[in-house]
Amino acid sequence: MKEEEVNRCQIQEWYPKFKSSSVQTLFHELPESFIKYLLDDSGPFLLPLSISNDDALPNRIHKPEEEEDYSISEQQSDNESEPTPQPPSFPELEIQISESIESLGGAIFPKLNWSSPKDSAWISPNGSLKCTSFSEIVLLLKSSDSLVHDLCHAYDSCSDCSITRPTRFFLALRKWYPDLHPEREFRCFVHNHKLIAISQREVTGFYPILTDKKDAMGMVIQEFYEDKVSEKFESESYTFDVYVRKDMAVKLLDFNPWSASTLPLMFTWEELESGELSKDPEFRIVESQMGVRPGLKTAVPYDYLDTSEGSGWDQFLKNADEELRRQTRSAGA
């Protein structure tokens, strides 16, 4: 894998070419001070001070290891105790991002150059990447381990690596659509300019509707690749993710390098690179409940939250409980 192949998969690089076929997205270049804040794990988890009075998220997330620090500090005098760390502040960035959220309909999901913080969706009150404020975005970004790849390790597998990280980082704000269905998202594998495989993207669930729609979806995805992607994306081998709407229109979601860092989902990298899948694209879905595969951990690690009254998290968790009850009522309606 070459450095230029990785760079082509950055959303700020490919989106202008595929804007008409993708999800509406706005971009903000992130200052270096914000990148350093995301990478800093030396102290307590502090969210930036918000200039908005509408934001109810607490500024601090409690970490278990702080219990020992607290017991030690009780034995120290006031003169010896360290000052309480102050939350950072990014007012200009917050204003710009808030304006973009409003222009995109009031709700977005965030993404950096390559990755979205899917592994931190558990910390959101709605259990998803939906964000309506700057603080909600930062909470997801700061809580994500997967974003460390973008920040520090994007070029680790490059044979001609000359840099350790991008010179510029961007926050992509993608318009939130509440009626999207995970079973309609697919990952497509292109090897030597040929679409060789298609996989169900959400492998943690069995969706019977896919068994009926599989052939039709495979056909429109292949047509989309030939008409919209093959001549525009310059790499020889790569993956791209799409969403197939109910009207069978295809929307482009993302590009990823042909690399072990990209999940092969229903395939393995060994068979993708073996040359065995060289005829019509092999289309794989979860065929039964027995074929469901494990996914990311979604439960909240409770020990990381200070839920005492007045901490801010008590109301935050009440909102999450209410959201769960609302979704349960909707599912039963």
Q: Within this chain, do residues 216 and 148 fall inside the same structural domain, yes or no? A: no
129 lies in the same domain as 264: no
Q: Residues 167, 236: one domain? A: no
- Mean pLDDT, the chain, integer: 84
Count of structural domains within the chain: 2
Q: Would you say residue 283 lies in a domain? A: yes
| More confident site: 145 or 51 | 145
Tokens 């069978």 label which residue?
248
Do residues 110 and 234 share a domain? no
* Residue 197 included in any domain: yes
Q: Which one is predicted more confidently, 159 or 291?
A: 159
Same domain, 45 and 139: yes
Is 165 found in the same domain as 39?
A: yes
pTM tops 0.85: no
Kindly give the residue spans of alpha helices, DSSP state H, lying in 59-184: 66-74, 91-103, 134-143, 147-148
CA-nearest of 61, 56, 41 to 135 is 56
Q: What is the CATH number of the domain that holds 218?
A: 3.30.470
* pLDDT above 50 (res 71): no
Range of the domain at 287: 182-291
pLDDT grade for 233, boundaries at 50, 70 and 90: very high
Query: CB within 8 A of 53, min separation 6: which ones?
Result: none
